[in-house]
Structure 1
Amino acid sequence: MILPFVWMISTSLKAPNEVMIMPPKWIPDIFHWDNYVTAWTMAPFARYTLNSLVVVIASTIGELITTILAAYAFSRINFYGRDIAFAVLLGTMMVPGEVLLIPNFVTLANLGWIDQYEALIIPWLASIFSIFLLRQFFLSIPKELSFAAKIDGCSDFRFLWSIMVPLAKPALITIALLKAIGSWNAFLWPLIVTSSENMRTLPVGLTSFSTDAGTMYELLMAASTMIILPMIILYIILQKYIIEGVARAGIKG
């Protein structure tokens, strides 16, 4: 698992003539730290970083809000057709994302959102997987808490935000982290719905190192290292919450 990352870092420090030599050279003769500076300045990566941060923060916050509300409704509120509606939503997870690319693109084009932040954010403000995960977590919380809260005059909305959400902290951190990583690394959708340099995100910006003359692998690996490093650090810091959130979500189904 670690080997590709080691190779990525090793390649990012090589000279161009050392990248493709056989047998492969793991440790370069000279460490070319200037590859990172060259990679950063070769394309407007400052703008790409800003776009990625905006998309990650907005889509993560939006998904958390929709997930919390939907998961609470499917786990605690009895309404007509609840289980059928939830089963239909789960069924949509079996539809390949590639099938939806053209319909979604046409919809956004009709709305005039192509090459706008709306196209990068709004279609990803809800996730069936996140709703399922949080619903399972909510089901593991004893119903006696809600009964006691209602006796004290607590509304459903207040019970959700004052009691359920704090108890579901591990699951919410798991959902937020998975969403942040997915948005940060997204390539195909941003490539399709953006057409200008000002709206590109970091993964799409990596295409700057591939030209008709070939791929500058040392610069590509340097840029990839800079892009992936924040997510690795974030994952290492929050990994215990991911394990706890997923484990507790499977207690009750």
Structure 2
Amino acid sequence: MEALAKGLAILESFDPSHPDMTLSEVARRVGLSPAAARRSLITLQTLGYVGQRQKRFHLRPKIMTLGSAFYFTARIDEVLQPNLRELVERFGDASSVGTLDGGDVIYIAHVSLQRARRAAAVVGARYQACATSLGRVLLAGLSDAELDRYIATVQPEPLTSKTITDPQVLRREILAVREAGYATTVDQLDYGITALAVPIRDLQGRTIAALNTSGYTGKVTPDSLVAERLPELREAASHISHAIARYPILNSIIGT
């Protein structure tokens, strides 16, 4: 199990800022000795998940089978994507569903008409929860004790000049989201992104995921998103909630 954990940590260490790395870079990012990192990399190479060019390691296409296994077994294409497509057909722009994993939000479904170069909300993308509308809705769904622990440990990254990095200011924002039942963000994750998100709740009322709609800052504002899209977004979230309840596997995955 320890070897499996090391291998997964190495796979997760590759990102847009680190598309390929030397052995020492991998070891440093994962917190392993060079010898331990080398053993794991050799195993991952043998399995076909990692490749090597000269002294630099990179991910290979086979890694995509891990994500696609989740996508299809969880029935994401049947349960979530149709609702997102309807929202995008209605409003344009983009729409996503995300879940909370520790202090991050992971995008598990996404539809977009946008082509601009900016932070990618593709399936599998992972961002600090406090910098996204999805993440703030999910954080607002935590218990008071869970939120206190999050605020006590979070170290927000200044992704833009507008990103909220003060934990106490962030706490006030999250409590306001809890009160309103939705979150709006402007240029928090990246410049040019204005978004509106609502919770997806299970039949017991627990927040298990979040749904958003986003557009270009300058073309849309938080007020315009709330006025024009909030009712449809909440209706889509309700449809998704009931659909999830009909799919035991997806319900188990998202609801835990």
TM-score normalised over the length of structure 2:
0.23
TM-score by length of 1: 0.24
Of structures 1 and 2, the one with the larger relative CO (CA 8 A, separation 6+) is 1
Structure with more helix by fraction: 1
